[in-house]
Amino acid sequence: MKMQFPLLLLLLLFSATADLSGTADLRETGLSIPASAPPLHLCPQSGAPRDLAPPGLASARSAAGEPEEAQNVGHHGGGFRVVQWEWTYVQTPYIIAMWLLVASVAKILFHFSQHFTTVVPESCMLILLGLVLGGVVLVANKKQLYQLDPALFFLFLLPTIVGDAGYFMSARLFFDNLGAILTYAVVGTLWNAFCCGFSLYAAKLLQVIDERVEADLMDFLLFGALISAVDPVAVLAVFEEVHVNDTLFIIVFGESLVNDAVTVVLYKVYISFVEVGVENVETADYFKGVASFFIVSIGGTLVGVVFAVILGFITRFTKKVRIIEPLFVFLLVYLAYLTAELFSLSAILSMTFCGIGANKYVEANISQKSRTTVKYTMKTLASIAETIIFIFLGISAVDKSKWAWDTGLVSCTLVFIFVFRAVGVIGQTWVLNRFRLIPLDKIDQVVMSYGGLRGAVAFALVVLLDGEQVKAKDYFVATTIVVVFFTVMFQGLTIKPLVKWLKVPRSSSRKPTINEEIHERAFDHILTAVEDIAGLQGYHHWRDKWEQFDKNYLSKLLLRKSVYRKSELWEAYQKINIRDAISVIDQGGNVLTSARLSLPSMASRASFPEFTNVTNYLRENGSGVCLDLQVIDNVPGAKVEEDTETHHVLAENLYKPRRRYQSHYSRHFMSLGEKERQDREVFQRNMKSRMETFKSTRYKRHKKERSLKKRQGPDTKEDRDKPRRNVSWQDTVPPAVGDSHSPTAAPPSLTTGGSLLPWKGSVSSPPPCVSVEATKIIPVDLQQAWNQSISSLESVSSPPAHTEPVHPRVSALSRLGVPRPVSYSPPGSVGGCTSSIGSQVVQSSLCFPEKKKEEEMEEEQEKEEEAELQPLLAPPTSPTKPPPPPGSAPSSGKRRKPSVYLRSLVTTPSTGSNESHSRGPTQL
């Protein structure tokens, strides 16, 4: 932290000075803000930029001769200036960007120290940082420029957090605990608000609170209403780090979301009462207040549901415009919030229900990429909004105008909110437990009481108060700040040790296995049936009713036809598969470690039976991951196994040289970018190779080898390259050879192409398993390799011609649509085929820059060379069978990362160049 602080300060100073200079600039130019202007918000002088002409070229604007420009010109002596100071032009976005940067950097810094962040919640640190920053601004400017602006908070910061929380909240969990959530949110909040209000009034009457605090009952009730609501932002920030169990979390968090309706209504009712004066309030007004509660809450919910339906319905038709799918999600969820705000309904409720409701349908409708985009964008926005909120809370506190301290008020409030929260929770839980299937025990109640954090919502509401009508506003603001700081910092800091000490069951981030998915579904059906038999119209009964309704009507309306057919279980199954694949790759940074490899969701790691169906299915659908497990198991004999294996090494490892540019650009489609495709393929191939390795290699042998390798020292790496190199070049070509007649057209299915393959001819083994992706790419690949090989051959025979690196690619592209040269037609004999394969690959690799080759050569050196030459010379003599290179049997265990493979490709020719040189031309 010591190291990090100066950097932060530097950043801050920069943004502060930028800001100040901006202010100064403005003052100079006559657009100055009045000295009595209210404290400036996130974007000070927000009015100023609006005076400027709409964005245009800076020079154009200066030519237009706006007042400040004219003045500037005068300063600088007139004439055309090369560099211009355009502060006023960029000011607003610039300052916002600077603040975002400061906030983000602060986040990075906090997470430098692992230990530190586990003890201190981020929200505490951010508030502290805010205090420091506020202090700096105050010292520099004599006046606090910034504070958490309620409009900014309610219109931008809060929705990002609520939107994220609502959209990703588990609907099942939420509705499972809906009763408890509603009780705590409605009854609990009302209880807290009234008790706090009346108790504070009592304290005032008893003169515990100083006389300077000019407030009557209504003021205290108003204050009680805004201070009593548990804050979603604070709860989220603190509980996310605590990881209490899901039920506990959803109850506290759900409460903090739903109580918004109560807070909004109470706040508005009291405000109006304060405005008209208590004496003028009629009895009817109280009933209106109650009525407005129902309107605000139910209306908010309805707005959310309506937008959820719209959102689901729209995403049904976005198949052709995948690129804007995420935008719809953001827009409609945000619109749900704004619309509710427009009608002064509960915006948080609206947004939450929009998110919860739409999630299922949207996730099913949009593409995987859009899903990821939505997720990351939402998380990023929410995280940055949260950071800004806490920093600004800190900054807002450092403001002389807010220091209207009254010890009585502050301490009474602190005590009251804590006591009433605890009493309320215990009382309600007692009632709830009589109806709950799983009662909330004492520990839960302690955490719930203690987790009643207050936060930015309360602060924003109190700032919004009208100082004219609520005389004690300044005291209330100060008290709110103290309460917020106390709950977020003290309770936030201590809740983790408390949870540990009480041994509250934690949540596990474990994902369900397929068995759990299946059986839990079965359990749901069982419970529904049992409720029906026992004649109980319980929770499961209604849930089942809803599911029937959803299946029969809603899903038909909101889901795409293609997805409607899919089942959730199948989706879950695929997700598990993908997760396995990813974890396998994560585990095996180096394939040598694959002996340790285990699939997290597999209890037994023993033999995998044939996944024929999965594989086929995935192949047909071009699904992301192909866990190709069947290959090895199916192979009848050892020889064929070897063949298949080599074939796979090949299929897996040859991939496209990166393209320099993309020929196709579209704003509306994200064509599967070359790189992306390549990445995906690398992923798939890695995956496959690892799975095979895992299967084919015997455990013990593998381990033994590994330990051997370790002892061998620095050379081991090169050593490992050997078998790979030897095997791989053998195999690189086959798919292309098969498809060679139409490399650019849609690739023929592998099985047809495969019939020409050497090992196909002799044995009718199962189709070599190459995913669709691979077949698509390899032919093109080979074509390119071929073209490159030609050009590189030329370069070998006459070095100067080689100098142009672009050449191969250009030629490759130009030939892409052209029929292949005659000489490239599939070789008739198996032997010929293999030899041509060998030379081709060698040639293709020749196109790598000479320099690199040499470097690699030096690295590798003599010992290797002999071994290298051996297999390269071998093919012509034993064409049908790839030469078993030294250690090829366990070779599968030695496959390494693609990058290493590339290097091996580079090095190969250096040893075998003679061969290719002499043999190459004969092919042409």
By C-beta, is 279 or 620 nearer to other proteins? Answer: 620
Q: 839 near 915, Cβ under 8 Å? A: yes
When asked if residue 533 is in the footprint of other proteins (CB under 8 A), the reply is yes
Closest approach of other proteins to the CB of residue 19, in Å: 53
Instruction: Kindly tell me which residue out of 194, 313, 617, 683 binds other proteins, with binding defined by CB under 8 A.
Output: 617
Instruction: Kindly tell me which residue out of 274, 366, 385, 614 binds other proteins, with binding defined by CB under 8 A.
Output: 614
Query: Which tokens in the block code for residue 897?
Result: 């990362």
HSE-CB at 602 with a 13 A cutoff on CA atoms is 15
Closest approach of other proteins to the CB of residue 431, in Å: 15
Instruction: Kindly tell me which residue out of 36, 114, 613, 877 binds other proteins, with binding defined by CB under 8 A.
Output: 613
Instruction: Kindly tell me which residue out of 66, 241, 544, 550 binds other proteins, with binding defined by CB under 8 A.
Output: 544
- What span, in angstroms and rounded, lies between the C-alpha atoms of 756 and 738? 6
Closest approach of other proteins to the CB of residue 712, in Å: 36
- What span, in angstroms and rounded, lies between the C-alpha atoms of 487 and 414? 9
Closest approach of other proteins to the CB of residue 107, in Å: 33
When asked if residue 699 is in the footprint of other proteins (CB under 8 A), the reply is no
Closest approach of other proteins to the CB of residue 525, in Å: 5
Query: Which tokens in the block code for residue 591?
Result: 């394939």
- Of 37-45, 113-121, 199-207, 540-548, the window that binds other proteins (rule: CB under 8 A) is 540-548
When asked if residue 581 is in the footprint of other proteins (CB under 8 A), the reply is no
Phi then psi for residue 218, to 5 deg, are -60, -45
Rg, Å, the chain Cα set: 35
When asked if residue 566 is in the footprint of other proteins (CB under 8 A), the reply is yes
By C-beta, is 177 or 413 nearer to other proteins? Answer: 177
Instruction: Kindly tell me which residue out of 87, 175, 573, 683 binds other proteins, with binding defined by CB under 8 A.
Output: 573
When asked if residue 603 is in the footprint of other proteins (CB under 8 A), the reply is yes
Query: Which tokens in the block code for residue 486?
Result: 């106390």
Instruction: Kindly tell me which residue out of 120, 349, 364, 576 binds other proteins, with binding defined by CB under 8 A.
Output: 576
Give the total residue count for the chain. 924
Closest approach of other proteins to the CB of residue 573, in Å: 5
- Of 156-164, 185-193, 357-365, 522-530, the window that binds other proteins (rule: CB under 8 A) is 522-530
- What span, in angstroms and rounded, lies between the C-alpha atoms of 377 and 372? 8
When asked if residue 717 is in the footprint of other proteins (CB under 8 A), the reply is no
- Of 561-569, 749-757, 883-891, 915-923, the window that binds other proteins (rule: CB under 8 A) is 561-569
By C-beta, is 94 or 539 nearer to other proteins? Answer: 539
Give Cβ neighbours of residue 391 (< 8 Å, ≥ 6 apart).
102, 103, 106, 126, 127, 129, 130, 133
Helix (H, G, I), strand (E, B) or coil at 597: coil
When asked if residue 170 is in the footprint of other proteins (CB under 8 A), the reply is no
When asked if residue 602 is in the footprint of other proteins (CB under 8 A), the reply is yes
Helix (H, G, I), strand (E, B) or coil at 609: coil
By C-beta, is 540 or 688 nearer to other proteins? Answer: 540
By C-beta, is 609 or 828 nearer to other proteins? Answer: 609
- What span, in angstroms and rounded, lies between the C-alpha atoms of 767 and 4? 58
Q: 157 near 232, Cβ under 8 Å? A: no
HSE-CB at 586 with a 13 A cutoff on CA atoms is 9
| Residue 901 DSSP class | H
Q: 291 near 382, Cβ under 8 Å? A: no
When asked if residue 431 is in the footprint of other proteins (CB under 8 A), the reply is no
HSE-CB at 176 with a 13 A cutoff on CA atoms is 14
Which residue matches tokens 């069978």? 881
* Dihedral angle sign, alpha carbons of residues 816, 822, 828, 830: negative
Closest approach of other proteins to the CB of residue 581, in Å: 13
Contact code string over 468-487 relative to other proteins, x by CB under 8 A: --------------------
- Of 70-78, 362-370, 603-611, 713-721, the window that binds other proteins (rule: CB under 8 A) is 603-611
Degrees to nearest 5, angle at CA 272 with 453 and 196:
35
Closest approach of other proteins to the CB of residue 579, in Å: 12
Phi then psi for residue 486, to 5 deg, are -65, -50
* Nearest alpha carbon to residue 217 among 235, 196, 240, 187: 196
Query: Which tokens in the block code for residue 808?
Result: 């191969």
| Residue 756 DSSP class | T
By C-beta, is 540 or 724 nearer to other proteins? Answer: 540
By C-beta, is 48 or 576 nearer to other proteins? Answer: 576
When asked if residue 538 is in the footprint of other proteins (CB under 8 A), the reply is yes
When asked if residue 519 is in the footprint of other proteins (CB under 8 A), the reply is yes
- Of 49-57, 600-608, 711-719, 793-801, the window that binds other proteins (rule: CB under 8 A) is 600-608
Instruction: Kindly tell me which residue out of 280, 283, 509, 604 binds other proteins, with binding defined by CB under 8 A.
Output: 604
By C-beta, is 436 or 863 nearer to other proteins? Answer: 436
- Of 91-99, 476-484, 613-621, 711-719, the window that binds other proteins (rule: CB under 8 A) is 613-621
SS3 content of the chain, % helix, strand, coil (to 5): 75, 0, 25
Give Cβ neighbours of residue 555 (< 8 Å, ≥ 6 apart).
361, 564
Closest approach of other proteins to the CB of residue 558, in Å: 16
- What span, in angstroms and rounded, lies between the C-alpha atoms of 433 and 441? 9
When asked if residue 679 is in the footprint of other proteins (CB under 8 A), the reply is no
When asked if residue 438 is in the footprint of other proteins (CB under 8 A), the reply is yes
Size of the site for other proteins (CB under 8 A): 56
When asked if residue 534 is in the footprint of other proteins (CB under 8 A), the reply is yes
Closest approach of other proteins to the CB of residue 417, in Å: 31
Query: Which tokens in the block code for residue 702?
Result: 């593998």
180-184 contacts at long range (C-beta below 8 A, 24 or more positions apart): 180/251, 180/432, 180/436, 180/440, 181/250, 181/251, 181/254, 181/255, 181/258, 182/258, 183/428, 183/431, 183/432, 184/251, 184/255, 184/259, 184/425, 184/428, 184/448
By C-beta, is 379 or 519 nearer to other proteins? Answer: 519
When asked if residue 870 is in the footprint of other proteins (CB under 8 A), the reply is no
Q: Which residues of 233-254 are buried (b: 16+ CB within 10 A; e: fewer)?
A: bbbbbbbebbebebbbbbbbbb
When asked if residue 539 is in the footprint of other proteins (CB under 8 A), the reply is yes
Instruction: Kindly tell me which residue out of 77, 609, 713, 805 binds other proteins, with binding defined by CB under 8 A.
Output: 609
When asked if residue 518 is in the footprint of other proteins (CB under 8 A), the reply is yes
Q: Report the interface residues with other proteins, using CB under 8 A.
A: 435-438, 441, 508, 510, 513-516, 518-523, 525-536, 538-541, 544, 548, 565-567, 569-570, 573, 576-577, 601-604, 606-609, 611, 613-614, 616-617
